Amino acid sequence: MTIPIPSPPALPFLGHITQIDAEIPQKTFDLLADQYGEIYQLNLITRHTIFLASYELQDEVSNDKRFQKTVVGALEEVRNGTGDALFTAYPGEPNWGIAHRLLIPAFSTSKVRDMFPEMTDIASQLLDKWERFGPRHVIDPSADFTRLAFDTITLCAMSYRLNTFYSEQTHPFVQAMADFLTESAKRANRPPILNSFMRGSNAKYEEDMKTMNQLVEELIEDRKKNPTDKEDLLNLMLNGVDQKTGQRLTDKSIRQNLLTFLVAGHETTSGTLTFALYYLCKHPEAMRKLREEIDEVVGEGTLHLEDVPKLKYMSACLRETLRLNPPATIRVIRSVEDTTIGGGKYAIAKDAILAIITGKCQTDPKVWGEYAREFKPERMYGENFDNLPPNAWQPFGYGMRGCIGRPFAWQEAHIALARVLQKFDIVMDDPSYTLQLKQTMAMKPKGFYIHAIPRKRMSVPVAVSLSGPLAGATNGTRKSSSEASEENAEPKQKLYIVYGSNTGTSQTFAQRIASDAPSHGFKARLGTLDSISEHVPTDGPLIIVTASFEGEPADNAAHFFDWLQSSKGKEAEGVKYSVFGCGNRDWARTYQRVPKLIDALLEERGGKRLHERGSGDAQTAEFFQDFDEWEAQLWKALAKEYGFEAKEQKASVNGISFKTVDSDISRAAVLRQPDADLGRVVENRLLTSPNAPEKRHIEFLLPDSMTYRAGDYLSILPHNPPRDVHRVVSRFALSAEQQIVLASEGPTSLPVGKPINIFSLLSGYVEISQPATTRDLRSLLAVESSDATKAALEDLSASYAEKVMGPRLSILDILEDHVDIELPFATYLEMLPPMRARQYSISSSPLHDPQRPTLTVSVVEAPALSGRKEQFLGVASTFLASLRAGDMVQLAVRASAATFHPPEDVSVPMIMFAAGSGLSPMRGFLQERAAQKKAGREVARSTLFFGCRSPEEDYLYADSDLKEWQELGIVDVRPAFSRRPEESEGCKYVQDRAWKDRAIVHEAYDHQGARFFTCGSGKMAQGVKKMLTEFIKESRNCSDEEAARLFERAIQGRYATDIFE
């Protein structure tokens, strides 16, 4: 007996058309698949479509006798330009058969092999361009791969050179084609009557088709004027005779098929190459393996045709790229007869339209495992690929209507990728970039920019913008403030400072060293660790500041770390270096793992350690003091090595100066235009009672190109509380509206060389509330003040942990307490660390709304530990609390660890531990499961252990979401009330409640395959870990040591944490 095919609620007359994302329709189809599962149906006004999203269904309908390709929706609109050409012909149209039989020989393996010289010719033009612009040039790989693919198809198939690499402007065809495809997709998702009224769009649509056809006519006319005997695609079209019918292609069919090859022949290949570079940049181990293969097969010589099939790991990388991001995102078929699919579960009527969501079918966990969305080329290597189930990998379509240009695209992609990675090290312009998409007919990465650094050369770290960690990349050459200031700097000994940082602390320390460098006789260059991968500088000392994150490197250090670990010779010979590591002893097993390994391996590989490795524990009061003391000794070591006179730290080290531009009291109105990094606040509401610490629910509207997964972070670039900004302004007797221009001798995170008012400068560029460091105290002692004040400062230095770090005494606090300290404002600015972006766990699921993530935020406002009258205000939480609906915020989505997402298999339950705002990601997980349950899927019941004060004060979402989801049957909430334990089974904390209900935990782990998640403070997380270890000890009757070992083994792949302080 069949069951109904689920469908989302629809509107009368309009059906589901209003639910389709206007910019990226595919995003809607994917999210509905996540919600409804393997099959659902939509009413899209002009067509009723059944969507398939599992391997089993894709395999079943890959049968040309039961299901045939059909042309509907966007593809049907594309027929306005391509008619009955190969890609858009209706089944049975005679011109398709003629063209198919005539043109298949042009893309045979032997013919494609003959195109190798032309393909390498165009690839060389790409390499020449990247080399000519240099390593600091910001490259848009999507644009350049489009040029590559466009020039390649015209040269190889039509013997015509477009020479787009010799023009600054994009060829008119490319832009017209992109606009034509985009509009075709939009027309397919509009009511037909609406299309007829859109005169402007229709006129542009016609003009785009005219522009595209102009190139087609130009190619045909050129061939007629300059005939050739070469049996290329164009000659086959013009002169070929179909052996079956004896017919030639009509002039109209020639134009339409030529246009089809120009579109399909370059749009998909350029997207695949861009996605491949993105995944390789994000996965340094895969990048290393591929580079090693290229070096082994090709070396430094010329790539030959016989080398291509030897690049087996490259094939695996490209296959995996095509699995995750197939160029044709949907394959549409029509049922030949009344039938059923899914083992008889779903009835399919004759002529029913079915849309196979290729990307979803190719990431089905039943075939690809729990981490099906992760990039793992090994599953596509050798026998692993050969042993895949039938029809599990279909990026080029299926059957008679599959892509006939597959051999062409496959060889072209191998040549381009091999040549690029043979010649260059590729690093992302923004190491924290996570994939965003844009869609015409095919998908491509949006906002993905790179640097191409020639291999085997002296390294110059790629400069990065430190003042705007969320600033989006732009195409073209960009100068950072670091570069601008260096142009006028006096020649000094080079000093390279590189960092690995996710949260900003290591970057801040690196910036401090760079700021201090000029006063010690060094000319500093600042960059990420990845910017020196494979070419560590030897013409100046190298200072590395890096962190460990649960034993793994930061995102912008992963490539360097992988390269260094895999190196075997004397790659660091001639390198003089020193390392400072940041870490957290809460993770004792992996504490300082990355800095330790880098320090040891650089020495093993021939480097010379100039100064002993330093280390700092972020959980201790001495963290900043440890760095300051290490840095002071570092300068002495460098002075000794390079023959400089050792200098005491001065109050002013970087030569910051400023001049007043406008002393008028009026405020300069500076309007900020929305860009890709601006989100809008939709809602900001209080969740807690007046007598409880404030927690808020904040909803944002993301830019169109940005999306997220449940468990991801929203990174917010905040402003300092206005109260604290005004405190600084008052202390230095300035006007908040006064405009200044900053200048600097060395790299700085401050906005140099342009007017800025003091309020904006203090609000957005520096951290005002951070505790003063021992170096800051030395700087204050170096300027004029009374003897009593100097004695007080000496006392603070002597008891730093107790009197400064413990009470979080800031520079501003000290200056207000001692008004006689004559500290110049410019010196104060350079003492402050740069503003950091803060990451918050998203508390919603894209299945609820893909463009509107929410945050659940604890607002930090508490008595100052220093005893000052003013309350201590958390920078980011105060900023977020002040936002109102309509406010624009600079933000970005940051991916969480691969394990910190709800299981793809909805039958797998979750055991979640959270306290306070640590509920945030768990709410997102449960909201996702609730959407899937409402869509008709069988969802496992999860358990949430949640800690707060009391039911009336801060039991977040208790009467709304949590109540609804418990009634829905997707979660069992087990609260722990620290101030009302009598109402939570006598349990005060999360770990207490979990221990009391440990039978539930045992059942979920041993018999249900549950996944475990913890989010909260380090103290809470340690409590949960201790509880789970005790549980193992009790159940296994073993020692503490054995229980700890068993815990580490038990959590592999099944326990993920998100810890904050």
Q: Which residue's entry shows tokens 């099959």?
A: 39
CA atoms within 13 A on the CB side of 556: 29
Report the C-alpha gap between 129 and 167 in whole angstroms: 11
Token readout for 809 is 């005494």
Report the C-alpha gap between 165 and 133 in whole angstroms: 12
Report the C-alpha gap between 343 and 618 in whole angstroms: 57
The residue from 361, 403, 582, 1015 that is catalytic is 403
Token readout for 82 is 């391509």
Report the C-alpha gap between 678 and 470 in whole angstroms: 10
Terminal CA-to-CA distance of the chain, rounded, Å? 55
Would residue 197 show up in a list of annotated catalytic residues for this protein? no
Helix and strand numbers, DSSP H then E, in the chain: 38, 33
Would residue 1038 show up in a list of annotated catalytic residues for this protein? no
Report the C-alpha gap between 630 and 607 in whole angstroms: 20
Q: 3-state DSSP call for residue 357? A: strand
Q: How far is CA 906 from the centre of its chain?
A: 25
Q: Which residue's entry shows tokens 């815990």?
A: 1047
Q: Tell which phi-psi region holds residue 975, choosing left (phi > 0), alpha (psi between -120 and 50) or beta.
A: beta
Q: Do 745 and 515 form a contact (C-beta atoms < 8 A)? A: no
The residue count for the chain: 1061
What are the beta bridge partners of residue 558? Answer: none
DSSP assignment of 4-38 equals: PPP----BTTTBTGGGS-SS-HHHHHHHHHHHH-S
CA distance to 218, 237, 558, 966, per residue, from 265 (Å): 18, 16, 35, 52
The residue from 70, 120, 211, 268 that is catalytic is 268
Report the C-alpha gap between 719 and 699 in whole angstroms: 18
Report the C-alpha gap between 686 and 858 in whole angstroms: 10
Helix axes 116-133, 141-158, angle to 10 degrees: 150
DSSP assignment of 117-145 equals: HHHHHHHHHHHHHHHHH-TTSBB-HHHHH
Count of CB atoms situated within 10 Å of the CB of 652 = 18
Pairing of strands 608-609, 576-583: parallel
Q: Do 817 and 877 form a contact (C-beta atoms < 8 A)? A: no
Would residue 943 show up in a list of annotated catalytic residues for this protein? no
Report the C-alpha gap between 347 and 246 in whole angstroms: 43
Q: Do 961 and 927 form a contact (C-beta atoms < 8 A)? A: yes
Q: Do 250 and 95 form a contact (C-beta atoms < 8 A)? A: yes
The residue from 396, 509, 623, 1013 that is catalytic is 396
Report the C-alpha gap between 234 and 154 in whole angstroms: 10
Helix axes 251-282, 94-103, angle to 10 degrees: 60
Report the C-alpha gap between 1051 and 1045 in whole angstroms: 10
Report the C-alpha gap between 232 and 222 in whole angstroms: 14
DSSP 760: H
Report the C-alpha gap between 544 and 561 in whole angstroms: 12
Report the C-alpha gap between 938 and 927 in whole angstroms: 15
Token readout for 677 is 């990094």
DSSP assignment of 568-627 equals: -S-TTTT-EEEEEEEE-TTSGGGTTHHHHHHHHHHHHTT-EESSPPEEEETTSTTHHHHH
Task: Give the active site residues.
Answer: 268, 396, 403
